[in-house]
Amino acid sequence: MSSKTCANCGTTLDADALFCHRCGLNLTQEYRATPIGNVKVEDVSDTFRRLREAIGTRYGIERELGRGGMATVFLAKDLKHDREVAIKVLHPDLAATIGGERFEREIKLAAKLQHPHILGLYDSGDADGLLYYVMPFVKGESLRDRIDREKMLPIEDAIRITLEVASALGHAHEQGIIHRDIKPENILLSGEHALVADFGIARAATEAGQQKLTQTGMAVGTPVYMAPEQSTGDAVGPTADIYSLGCMLYEMLAGEPPFNGPNAMAIMARHLMEQVPSIRVVRNAVPEEIEQAIFIALNKAPVDRPQTAAQFAELLSGIFGATSTMRVMRGTRSMMTPMPMTGTFTVPPPLPWYKRPETFWTAFGVTVASVATAFGLSQMNGAKAPAALSAEQRRIAVLHFTDASKDSSLGPVAEGLTDGLIRTLGSSSSVTVISRDGIEPYRNARLAPDSIARTLRVGFLVRGEVEPVGDRVRVSVRLDDASGARLESGGFSVARDSVLVLQDSIGALAANLIRGQLGEELRVQAQRIATSSPAAWLLVQRGIQEQRRAQALPGAEREPVWLRADSLFAEAQALDTRWAEPHVRRASVALTRARARNRNQQDEMRALSAESNAHVEAALALDPNNADAFEVRGTTAFFGWNFNLETDPARRDVALANALRDLERATTINRQQASAFSTLAAVYANTPGKTANDIYLAARRALEVDEFLATANITLSRLANATYDLGNSDAARQYCDQLYRRFPNDVRAWRCQLNNLSLPGAQPEIARAWTLVDSVVARTAPADTAHWRRTGNILAAGALARVSGGSGPLADSARRVLRRNVGDASVDQLRELAYYAAFVSVILGDREDAFRLLREYIAANPNKARILRDDPGWWFRAIADTPEYRQIMGSAQ
């Protein structure tokens, strides 16, 4: 059959095709020679010229990168920030249809999206009638490029890309933003990660009116990936994006989309009427469970699909990383042999949220019913709760399981079950589970259950007991409401040498008890135990007990307990040489011991850091995707950088880069790794090229995952500082207030209040500024009080400067405070005082003083020059474009 090429995207098409199935180009006689949007190829040079003339002083327009259904993309240089960017210019007829006001409104909405898998926006505007927006330039390829090259992607790559896109969509949907045009062309691949582009434009096009767009030959969305309700012009919601994402996953796996045709109407009709073809007909290596998840996402009616991106991700995340297990299961399913509990199991819902007779979740052979039968589930009673529960009612605290043995021999089992159940229930998106750090204060507290529930703001308490019964271990679990009244309970027993089955079976039991109160499905991820040795598992639990015991001891008494914990982990390591967990635990102990040393013991710090890294290497050799191992190694590298364990500047830079790499790897493997996100925020704060927004996103994620994080005070302080640096006054005050409410005696809670007095638009009370200085100094360690007295005085001068407007008696007072407190290198070796004083000088309008002070600061901290050059923040934005500022920040390079 003869063929032709799409003039817009280059796709090979049948000779009689009336429509490009990839980019949407209308190929009828009226439009045949014209790419989408009526932008002829020869017109691009005029666009290039007009764009260069309009914004050439800010951006050096270099060349066209490509054209799509709605815009032309140019490579450019951001002259101010010395970085490559991509500038997307809407095709003229689309720009005319949308209009400048609507475009600006939608771009502002899209610009608020901050997510690791969403391509951000730098700038936008109207350049001589051309509507444009500026994005980071991604040095990689689009998913379309990769599919065109490889046809079918590896299954795990396809699932990983889909999960990352789902995460991005979930974030956007929470903000009320629907993408409307999810397709491979809008997914950029940078390194191993996916970035979703073009939020907001399809929505703007939709609002402009379907009829106008049809007249210009443009489709809102791309028919190959378009949900049925979208093609018929009905209202669309998050499920439309999920449908498109399902189509995209189908294409990644099958090498072609689920529906195709010679024109847009034919494709849309197939989406509306035809059954989705089986992927496994063309690629039988695709597990049935993945195919089933795609079928669910591609249901015709929106109500029958996953209602959120998180639900679709849950369908896939249980499969990801367990492909080989599922392949075995497909071959043995007819034997009806129960599979080990290493995947995801589901508590059956009263009513399904999608209308299919079966789902892949049952394929694991680990329903709660089978667990109940195998382990003697008892006393399943209690009335169902109301159908709809508030967010607080959906919060659950798993209290420490009680060891009912006379000799406390089951203590490690009780500890391990408590930890495991927190992780298991925490894997569900239906409930919020208080972390281990959150329940730790109530380990031995003699408080009534309702008091604990009220303090933790939870709707349910899970309590348990472990007791010996002959040669067996019996576990009892009860679910209480917030008043402490028992709602439901259950229990089972296993042989003492079968304790490894306890963790997953207790998770299934507890999930079923909770499901009875939620009145809906509760999916949880079974916790894989990678050892077959009960003795090794018990040794690790005993070691963890010792680690926790050490935390409660005075400093001098901790070392022997840490050594005892290390010895227990070493025994476990010897019992099961293929288990990574003991190695990771030993690495953690070594790092903890290194951090307990003081600055005069750097040789010991180096030796213990090396020991920690050796254990991590052993762990990663056994488990290359162990998030805990990457976190420990990244934290160790940052610890070494922070304490100058490497004296050579180049080696220090390598240490910081290694910390960044490993912590980002840990948080990519496990998005629930709260402590890794917290440390990553600290690394971002010291990494050139990273911004206050990067710090904010990492710190926010840490507290989203675990509000009771051990370093919650530091993380809240980072959030307060990051939002302060971003000039977001409301958020800075909000996080500072949270910090003060939760940690009123932490000096950081007082420092952020002092900082906030100098926020733009602030009209602080001068008397309060000086009171805050006294409060900060009173809570500062004695060795640092002199430095913080000077720092506090300078920040109070910032309040004076803000109120004065830069002139008059208050401004003169501010200048006198600066002169008295800025000091020199003899009192401030790193010249942080000069840095703060430079900021206050900018407020006062004293630019020469600001430049002089910044020179002092950069001379003492040359590594900060690049950070301040790339991101001067609102402190120095007023002088960032001056030759003096550029010279100061460039002189240290």
The DSSP bridge partners found for residue 255 are: none
The confidence band for 319, taking pLDDT boundaries of 50, 70 and 90, is low
Residue 519 has what pLDDT?
Answer: 67
The pLDDT tens digits of the residues spanning 80-89 come to 988 999 999 9
Percent of the chain residues past pLDDT 90, beyond the cut: 41
134-148 pLDDT, tens digit per residue, is 988 888 889 999 999
Q: So what's the pLDDT on residue 421?
A: 85
Give the strands of the sheet with 141-142, arranged side by side.
141-142, 187-190, 193-196
Residue 355: the pLDDT is: 29
Per-residue pLDDT tens digits for 35-56: 333 434 444 567 888 888 888 8
Q: Is 682 exposed, middle or buried (0-12, 13-18, 19+ CB in 10 A)?
A: buried
Measured from the Cβ of residue 41, the count of other Cβ atoms closer than 10 Å reads: 12
Structure-model confidence comparison of residues 348 and 705, the more confident one? 705
Tell me if the pTM is above 0.75: no
Query: Is 50 exceeded by the pLDDT of residue 30?
Result: no
Averaged over 565-593, what is the pLDDT?
95
CA distance from start to end of the chain: 61
In this model, does residue 192 exceed pLDDT 80?
Answer: no
Q: Are 516 and 488 in contact, with CB atoms under 8 Å apart? A: yes
In this prediction, residue 436 carries a pLDDT of: 85
Q: Which amino acid is located at 80 in the chain? A: K
One-letter amino acid identity for 660? L
The residue with tokens 């974030």 is 171
Q: SS3 string of 393-457?
A: CCEEEECCCEECCCCCCCHHHHHHHHHHHHHHHHCCCCCEECCHHHHHHHCCCCCCHHHHHHHHC
Task: Pick the more confident residue, 356 or 102.
Answer: 102
Amino acid 882: pLDDT: 94
pLDDT tens per residue across span 818-834: 999 999 888 888 999 99
pLDDT tens profile 620-673: 999 999 999 999 999 999 999 999 898 888 999 999 999 999 999 999 998 889
> Please, what is the angle between helix 534-551 and helix 581-595, to 10°?
20
What pLDDT is recorded for position 668? 93
- Select which of 78, 93, 181, 576 is catalytic: 181
Who's near 634: CB < 8 A, 6+ residues apart? 658, 659, 660, 661, 662, 663, 665, 666, 676, 679, 680, 683
CATH numbers and ranges of domains, the chain: 141-200+214-338 (1.10.510.10), 368-528 (3.40.50.10070), 757-893 (no CATH)
**pLDDT per residue over 435-462, tens digit each?**
888 888 888 777 888 889 898 899 999 9
Is position 504 annotated as part of the catalytic site? no
Q: Would you state the pLDDT for residue 437?
A: 85
Tokens at 462, concatenated: 């899970």
List phi, psi (to 5°) of 523.
-95, 135
pLDDT at 372 over 50: no
Residues 529-543, mean pLDDT to the nearest whole number: 85
Q: What is the mean pLDDT of the chain?
A: 81
88 appears as a binding residue in the annotation: yes
Backbone angles phi, psi at 166, to 5 degrees: -60, -40
Model pLDDT for residues 594-608, shown as the tens digit of each residue: 999 988 899 999 999
Instruction: State the pLDDT at residue 835.
Output: 96
Between 683 and 423, the higher pLDDT residue: 683
Checking if the pLDDT of 188 tops 80, the result is yes
How many whole angstroms separate alpha carbon 394 and alpha carbon 375?
27
Least confident of 247-261, 472-486, 559-573, 674-688: 472-486
CA distance 345 to 360: 10
pLDDT digits (tens, 9 = 90+) for 127-181: 888 889 898 888 888 999 999 999 999 998 999 999 999 999 999 998 888 988 8
Please give the structure tokens belonging to residue 646: 């490497």
> Encoding tokens for residue 556?
């001098």
Give CA–CA dist 683/288, Å, rounded.
42
11 pLDDT higher than 70? no
Which of 91-95, 326-330, 390-394, 824-828 has the least mean pLDDT? Answer: 326-330
77 to 55, 62, 126, 536, 686: CA distances (angstroms): 11, 7, 18, 58, 26
Average pLDDT over residues 420-428: 82
Which amino acid, one-letter code, is at 820?
Answer: R
